[in-house]
Amino acid sequence: MFTVPIQAGQIPALIYVLITNLLLTAVIYTMIATPFSAVMVVRTNSQSERGSMGVFRAVGNYGAGMLIGIATIPVTNMLGGTQSAWIKYGVVLGAAVLLLFLICYNNGRKAVFASDISEDLKEDKGASGEETVPFKEAMGMLFHNKYWVIVLLFNLITQVTNTIAGSGGTYYCKWIFGNDSLVGLLGAVGMLATVIGFALSKPIIAKLGVTKTIYVGLLGAAIPAAVRCIMPTNFMVYMVTGLVGSFIQIPLMCLYGVLLAMAVDYNEWKYDKTLVATSSGAIGFGSKVGGGVGSLLLSLFLVLGSYDATVAEATTSMRYSK
């Protein structure tokens, strides 16, 4: 994406972006995310172990995202802020990701986890415990599983809001507060809230339970957003509400994989088929759709606000379209 051929013209550049984005999200990401999501389902039937895996997974996901969010703008600005700087930054990230995947693969293929699945059942269903079900039949089963549908919609909606919040933050710092380097400061503050949130996630989930944790997490996203709408130009309010919102939402993030595992368990109870791969893949598709819808909405708001990246100061329409 960082190597977009701008010099070739707008249409070739857009075609390049479309093709590379499809390859990255629809093909490569799906090949990675589907087995990744299925791991906690096939490794154990214990809800406690799944909860621990969910916390560990969320720590890695969110922690890596926060580190990249903190480093991106300062590092690319330090390298010159040009497309060449972004390409260099992207190459380093790509190499680091490849190394981490190799480590993950090496450890994962040798890992042994406690599981309640009997050896006889593994032999009957195969090493993965997954049944072979025609795609059309499997999707019909999933859409008749109300809990899977709820998880799908939940992932879709939260991905929309997270994409808007994550992508819009850079625009907000640059045009509302007048300094895009503040993204790094906000990321550092958010990291503090994240560390505390992850440290307390397990006891919070154990105390409140899954349902109440989700309610609290959703309110933790809505209320700070409402406060920012009341005082949109106050940097301190923006930073504090972001910190509080991040802290409250962390336990909710730890439950994404657990919710999917519970929906898969319901598949097994209702149909005597787990449908692990299909369930995970379809949920991943919903998340990607949510990310696309979020990006589309953000782009729409920029268009409605007559966004112009070349101006020295944001116009009134640019400010309040966000």
What is the DSSP secondary-structure string of 22-65? HIIIIIIIHHHHHHHHHHHHHH---HHHHHHHHHHHHHHHHHHH
Q: Average pLDDT, whole number, for the chain?
A: 77
* CA-based nearest residue to 163, from 113, 104, 221: 221
Q: Identify which of 174, 171, 143, 158 has the alpha carbon closest to the alpha carbon of residue 293.
A: 158
- Using one digit for the tens of pLDDT, what is the confidence trace for 101-126? 888 888 777 666 544 444 445 555 44
Q: pLDDT band at 99, cuts 50/70/90?
A: very high
- Please write the tens of the pLDDT for every residue from 278-305: 777 766 777 777 777 877 787 777 777 7
Q: Is the pLDDT of residue 263 over 70?
A: yes
| Paired tokens of 127 | 């090493």
Q: Express each pLDDT in 32-43 by its tens digit.
A: 777 777 777 767
Which tokens go with 200? 């307390």
Residue 27 has pLDDT above 70, yes or no: yes
DSSP 3-state of 6: helix
- C-alpha span between 240 and 210 (Å, rounded): 26
Whether 24 shows a pLDDT value over 70: the answer reads yes
Read off φ and ψ for residue 28, nearest 5 degrees: -65, -50
Tell how many helices (H) and how many strands (E) occur in the chain. Answer: 12, 0
* pLDDT tens-digit series, residues 191-214: 777 778 878 888 888 888 888 888
Q: For residue 318, what pLDDT band results from cuts at 50, 70 and 90?
A: low
Q: How many alpha carbons lie under 13 Å from residue 321 in its C-beta half-sphere?
A: 19
CB pairs under 8 A, 24+ apart, for 59-66?
Answer: 59/198, 61/253, 62/194, 62/198, 62/250, 62/253, 63/191, 63/194, 65/166, 66/187, 66/190, 66/191, 66/194
Lowest mean pLDDT among 91-100, 131-140, 149-158: 131-140
- Quick one: pLDDT at residue 321? 55
If one compares 103 and 254, the residue with the highest pLDDT of the two is 103
- As a whole number of angstroms, the distance between CA 310 and CA 292 comes to 26
Helix (H) or strand (E) holding 107: helix 83-108
